[in-house]
Structure 1
Amino acid sequence: MTTPSRSHIRWFRNTAPYINLHRGKTFVLMLGGEAAQDENFANIIHDIALLKSLGVRLVLIHGSRPQIAARMDKAGLKSSFHHDVRITDTEAMEHVKDAAGSLRAQIEALLSMGLPNSPMLGSRMRVCSGNFVTARPIGVVDGVDFQHTGKVRRLDTDGIHRQLQDDSIVLLSPLGYSPTGEIFNLALEDIAVHCAAAIGADKLILFGEESGIMDGEGQLIRQLAVTDLAQLTPEDAEQASLLHTAKLACTEGVPRCQIISYRDDCALLEELFTHDGSGTLVANVAYESSRQAGIDDVGGILELIEPLEQQGILLKRSRELLEQEISRFRLLERDGRAIACAALYPFPENGCAELACVVTHPDYRGGQRGQRLLQELEQEARHSGLSRVFVLSTQTAHWFLEQGFVETSRDELPDRKQALYNLQRSSKVFFKDL
C-alpha cells in the first residue's frame, strides 16, 4: 500500500473550504464536440463524476460540430455556413441527429462506468436526457434560409430542476424541439447561455483548447470583469467565441463563467478547488471585492498580519484588541478569502488620520492591491473632513514614499499618538496631504 505524501494531504485539507462552498450549487458545463474527441475526455468525465459525488448539481451540454462534419464528409455532402452558422437542410439533419445521438450515448456510457480500480468505482451516476429545449427556426436571414437550424425558444426549467433535485445529471444535446414535432439543430453556445440563465446556475464552465483566455503575449489572463471584455479582441476564433459566450451569460445574470482547457488533465478540479484555478474567470462583478471588515474577519486578518508581526515589521496586536478595532479595517477579498487589509484611525481634533496594517498576502503582491486599499481609505478620510493621513513605518518607507508620503518629525503626530509612540521601534513618520 502506497502512503500518501504530506503535500497531498495538505492539498486535500486546503480543498475543504471549496468543497463546502460548492456543495448544493448548480454548475452548467459546456463541452464542444472537439473535447469529446480529445484523449483527455474520459478524465473530464471522471472529474465530473467526482463533482457529483461532492454534492454539486450538474447540467452537462455537449456539442457535436466535428462529428457532424465527419459524417457529412463521409456521405460526400458539403457543409454550408452563413456567418459561421450551419445551414441544416433535410439531408444534413439526418447526420446532425446521428452525431448528437451517438455522442450523447457515449457520454451516458462513460458516466455509467463502475469498473474496479477506476475513478468511477461506486459512482452510480444517474443521467437524464430529454426534450427540455423548445426551439424555433432561425428562418431567412440576409436572403439565406437556415431551414432546420434553430434558436432556443425556452427551456423546461421546472423539469430540469426536478431532475437535479432527484440527484440526476442532466445531459443536453444540441437539439431542440418544436410544439409541432420538428427537430432543430442548435448552437451549443445558445443552449448553454439560455440554460445557465434560466435555471439560475451558479457557474457556467466553458471548455476550450487553451488553458483559458490568453493576452497578446500568450500569457493566461486569470480573471476578468464583464466591463473588461470590450478591451479584448482575440484573433483566435475559439477564444473570441468563448469570451462572447461568457459575456452573454454574465449579462443574463450568471454570476461567473470559467474558461478552462479540455486538454489539460485535472483542469476542472484545479479551477474549482484551488485559490487561483487553472483558467480564466469572467465575472459580472469584480472578482476581488473591497469591503469593511466585520467580526467574522478577525481570523483572516490575523493570518495576514501575524507573519509581519513576527518579523517586527508590524506592532503586535492581540485578538482582543483586533476585535475591538475591527470596524477600522478594510479588506480586499478574493473568493471569500482575505488577501489584503488596511486600517484607518482618525484623529479629528487634529484633522488627520493614521493608516496602519497595510498588508497584502505574499501570493498576491505586485498587483497594486495595497495601493487600492490605500486610495479607498484616503477617500474615506476626505469624506470625514480630514486633510492629512500619516503612517509609522520601520521597514517599508520606500513604498510609502512612492505613494506620495513625505517623511516628517514625530513632533507632528497628534498628541494622543505621541503618547503611544514606541521609542524602541524608532518608527519613521510619514505624512500625506489629501
Structure 2
Amino acid sequence: MKSFVSTENNQSFARHLRQALPYFEEFQGQILVFHLGVFPAPEEGSRIIEDLVLLNRAGLQIILVHGPGEPSIFSNSPSESHFNEIRRSIASANWELQTRIHSISQKVQTFSAHLIKAVPSEIHPEERRLPKGRVSGILLDPLHEALNSNKLIIIPSFGIGEKGRLWLLDSWETSIEVASAAHAKKLVHLGTQNQAHFSRLPSNEMNTSAMRLWLEQEKIPEEAGRVWQGLLNACERGVERCHDLDSGVDGSLLQEILTPGGIGLMVTNSDYRRIRSARMSDLQRISELLGESSTEKTVVYRSREYLGQHVDDFHVFCIDEEITGCVEFHTSRDSPAALIGSLTVSASHRNQGIGRELVEAVIQEAQKREFRNLFALTMSQSSIFVQCGFEEVEPEELPDWKLKDFDYPESRVFRFKINRS
C-alpha cells in the first residue's frame, strides 16, 4: 500500500527536481555532445545510458560519439589486421549502444549513420597503408534533421573518404569537431582515466584564459593533457561549456548537467558567469536570497507580492544557472534619478566580487539610459558602493518619488553622479 507520509528522501528528491528546472529550461532544444571513448562496463554503462535517455526524453538534443568496445584493443601493435579488429569493435559497440538504449525506453528513436567526412591522416610512411584518418567535415543537414526529430544521435568514430573508403578516426578529436561544427552548448568527455589527476587542478571550474595558462605551466600526463587541451580547444571554437567527468561515479552526468555544484572539470567561456534580467520563475530564489539577508539585517525585507510587482526591476547574477545574487534597479518616469536597492549575494558566494559586478552593471545601465544620479540604499554594504565611486549623502538628497516613502532610518544613502559627457 502506498504511503502518504512525506519522507526526508522524498522531500530531498522533490527539492532537487525543482532545482533542476532552470537547467531543463536552459538546455531545452540545445545540442549536447558526449564522448564515450571506450565502452564502459555493463553496470556503469547502463547508468550512463539511462541518464542520456532521460535527457533526450526531456527535450535535450543528444549526440553520442563513441570509440571501440574494448579498451585493451589499443594495446596491440598497429597492423592492417589490428585496424580491422578495431573497426569491428566499434561497429559492435555501436550496435550494443542502440540495443541498450531501446531496452531502457522503446520510445527513444536513435539515429546512427556515417556523418563524418574524412581524409587520410598524416602518419609515418610505414603506416601509410593503414586506414587512419582525420575529420575533414560534418554532414550537418542530416544531423540537424535527426536532432529536430528528437532522435538520439550515435556517431561511431569512422569517416567516409573518397570513393567511399572508410577511415578510422580518433573518437575524442571527432567529438570536438562535431561539437564545434554543430554549435553545441556542451561537450562532455566521459571516462575514468583522468580521475586520479583531478586533484592537480587549481579549480574544477575554469574559463579558457585560466585553463590555457595552467596547461602551459603544468606538466600533465599525456592522456589527461590531451583531453583537457581538447576541452579548451572546443571552448575557444565556440562550445560554451566543456566537461571532463568521471563516468565511474553514479549520477555524475546528471549532477554536472542539472545541478549548480556539478562534479568533475568544467571549462567555460565568459557566458558561464553572467548578469541578466530577472524572470517570474526567479521569484522564489530572489525571495530566498533577500529573506536570508533581511534576517541578517543587511537589506530591507521584500514580500512575494512586492517582488511579483517589481520583477522587471531586478537583475540576477548567475553562475551556470544558479542565481547567486540580485539587485533592484528602480526608476520613476520623467525623473533624472534612479535607485539601487535589494543588493544581496548568497552566503556561499560572498567575497568573490559578485556584489560589485551587480552594482557596476546597474551603473552601466543608468549611464546608457542617461540618468543624472544613481542612488543606493543599504543597511551595511557601504564599502561596495564606495569602491564603485559612490559618496554618502543625507536622505534628503533622494529624489522626491523615493523620499516620500523613505521610512527606513537604519538605511544609509549613497549617490553616484553620472558623467554625461
Asked if the contact 1:206–1:259 (Cα under 8 Å) also holds between the matched residues in 2, the reply is yes
Secondary structure at 2:271 match in 1? coil
1:286 deviates by: 2.1
Letter in 1 for 2:266: L
Pair 1:230-2:212 in alignment: yes
Alpha carbons 1:138, 1:146 under 8 Å: kept: no
Q: Pick one of 44, 52, 57 that aligns with 1:40.
A: 44
Structure 1 length normalisation: TM-score?
0.75
The corresponding residue for 1:99 is 89
TM-score by length of 2: 0.77
Native 8 Å contact 2:114 2:156 kept in 1: no
Which segments of 5 or more consecutive residues in structure 2 lack a partner in the other structure? 4-8
Distance 1:414 1:319 in 2: 26
Tell me which protein shows more helix as a share of its residues: 2
| Cα offset, 1:378, TM superposition | 4.2
Cα distance between partner residues in 2 of 1:314 and 1:48: 43
1:211·1:220 contact (CA, 8 Å) conserved in 2?
A: no
- The more displaced of 159-168 and 45-54 is 159-168
SS in 2 for 1:358: strand
Q: Which amino acid aligns with 1:63?
A: G
* Equivalent pair of 1:31/1:61 in contact (CA under 8 Å): yes
Aligned-residue RMSD, C-alpha? 4.1
2:254 to 265, 269, 278: 269
Q: Which residue of 2 aligns with 1:156?
A: 139
Residue 426, structure 1, aligned to residue 410, structure 2: yes
After superposition, the C-alpha distances for 1:371-401 in whole angstroms (9 at most, x for unaligned) are 2112333455667788986644434456667
**1: CA distance between counterparts of 2:370 and 2:182?**
48
Determine if the alignment matches structure 1 residue 31 to structure 2 residue 36. Answer: yes
Match of 2:12 in 1: 7
Residue number in structure 1 paired with 2:64: 60
Question: Structure 1's 212 and 280: CA in aligned 2 closer, same or farther, altered over 3 A?
Answer: farther
2: CA distance, partners of 1:93 / 1:306: 63
* Structure 1 residue 134 displacement after superposition: 2.5
1:108 matched to 2:111? The reply is no
Shift of residue 406, structure 1, vs aligned partner = 6.9
- Output the amino acid matched with 2:208: V
Partner of 2:55: 51
Q: CA deviation at 1:265?
A: 0.8
For the residues of structure 1 that align with 2:416 and 2:61, how far apart are their CA atoms?
Answer: 52
Partner Cα distance (1:59, 1:366) in 2:
39
Worse-superposed segment, 175-184 or 160-169: 160-169
User: How many equivalent residue pairs?
Assistant: 408
- SS at the partner of 1:367? coil
Alignment correspondent of 1:183: 166
SS at match of 2:71: helix
Quote the offset at 1:51 in angstroms: 2.5
Give yes or no for contact 1:214–1:220 (8 Å, CA) kept in 2.
no
Return the letter of the residue paired with 1:93.
F
Q: Which runs of 5+ in 1 are unaligned?
A: 73-77, 80-88, 114-119
Indicate the SS of the match to 2:172: helix
2:254 aligned with 1:254: no
Cα distance in 2 between the residues matched to 1:95 and 1:305: 61
Q: Identity across aligned pairs (percent)?
A: 23
Q: C-alpha displacement at 1:138, in angstroms?
A: 1.5
Question: Quick one: which amino acid aligns to residue 187 of structure 2?
Answer: L
Partner of residue 239 from structure 1, selected from 221, 224, 244 = 224
Moved more, 309-318 or 231-240: 309-318
